[in-house]
Structure 1
Amino acid sequence: MDDERLWNFEQSLWTEGADNYREKVDPEVVMILPRPPFAFHGSAAIEAVTSTPVWERAELTERTVSRPHEGLIVIGYHVRAERDGGPGYAAWCTSTIRRLEHEVWRVVQHQQTLALDHG
């Protein structure tokens, strides 16, 4: 997956709905989110993100990409997300994405740490 496609993939997880999560997040995903119970696995992780409102805008900056093994991508970035009429959200994030087959990728790990500038 080239960098442009990679960042579009990740940004879509912030700005598209529940069907997008179910398509792009692996059933065995591990997520660390800034709310109890903090550590989520599998369907509980997918439910935790699908039950939150979709952000209208998400800006991913300070991007870093590592490709430690063929078919495995690790990214880190800062996100500032907004929706009209609501408070913003800012966090430092990591995601690990693995290739299942040609052009089929799934998030297997995601972590968010609230940023001090959280909107």
Structure 2
Amino acid sequence: MAKFESVEDYLNSLESPKHETLRAVIRAIETHFPEAEFKLAWNVPQVQIQGKYVFGMSAAKNHLSLAPWSEAVMADFAPRLAGYETTKGLIRIPVDWDVDQQLIADMISARMAELGI
């Protein structure tokens, strides 16, 4: 796997529709959390607010992954995530997902509350 220099490099390495879907996820986060910083960590895009990780994303061969960095948030959101494949720490979404901005915003808000920010 290539080592990326920036979130933009990461996104530009992806084929369509992965590129467009993750870009739409980022735009949704920017809309709800203008203070969010997008950084590359572990060679994939991560979101920090007040220096703390609140959300991450990555592309796999057949899906995209979204992660609120919290097993507790995943458990709390289990009813809303029932239509998705999940693990204790992430959600697998289709590469052409119709971005659920409110779900993302609510998960980040829950993670922020958990962190006290």
TM-score normalized by the length of structure 1: 0.31
TM-score normalized by the length of structure 2: 0.31
Tell me which protein shows more strand as a share of its residues: 1
